[in-house]
């Protein structure tokens, strides 16, 4: 069974840091493109950061987090990370881990989400 389990969410003050982890199982992690999305109350779900499955691990970020957040992956551990620095109240949202791949099919899976709250 495909599973994506997020962890590391919580409460932080503005300017603080938080590191999210997404542990993947049930599929070949190395062939999947991984990404983090977030959804705040009353807002559309948006892409925060993505990292490709290909060599080099190309990354892409939303303009709102560029320079503050970093996505990375460890294929040996089947885990993707999101390091969040200089956090702002507008970063408050539920953060979701996503996996997509088209190897011998088309697949799209989501984790259950983890709450991140940035407030003084």
List pLDDT tens digits, range 86-117: 999 999 999 999 999 988 889 999 999 999 99
Q: Does 55 score more than 70 pLDDT?
A: no
- How far is Cα 95 from Cα 37, in angstroms, rounded to an integer? 6
Q: Does 64 score more than 90 pLDDT?
A: yes
Residue pLDDT, tens place only, 65-81: 999 999 999 999 999 99
- At 105 the pLDDT is 87
Q: Of 4, 13, 11, whose CA–CA distance to 78 is shortest?
A: 4
- At 73 the pLDDT is 95
Residue pLDDT, tens place only, 7-52: 999 999 999 999 999 999 999 999 999 999 999 999 999 999 999 9
Q: Which two tokens stand for residue 10?
A: 């919580």
């Amino acid at each position: 069974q495909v599973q994506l389990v997020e962890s590391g969410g919580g409460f932080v003050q503005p300017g603080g840091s938080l590191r999210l982890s997404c542990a993947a199982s049930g599929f070949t992690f190395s062939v999947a493109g991984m990404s983090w999305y977030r959804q705040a109350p009353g807002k559309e779900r948006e892409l925060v950061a993505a990292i490709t499955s290909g060599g080099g691990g190309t990354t892409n970020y939303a303009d709102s987090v560029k320079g503050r957040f970093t996505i990375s992956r460890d294929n040996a551990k089947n885990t993707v990370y999101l390091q969040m620095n200089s956090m702002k109240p507008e970063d408050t949202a539920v953060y979701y881990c996503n996996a997509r791949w088209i190897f011998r099919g088309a697949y799209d899976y989501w984790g259950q989400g983890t709450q991140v709250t940035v407030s003084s």
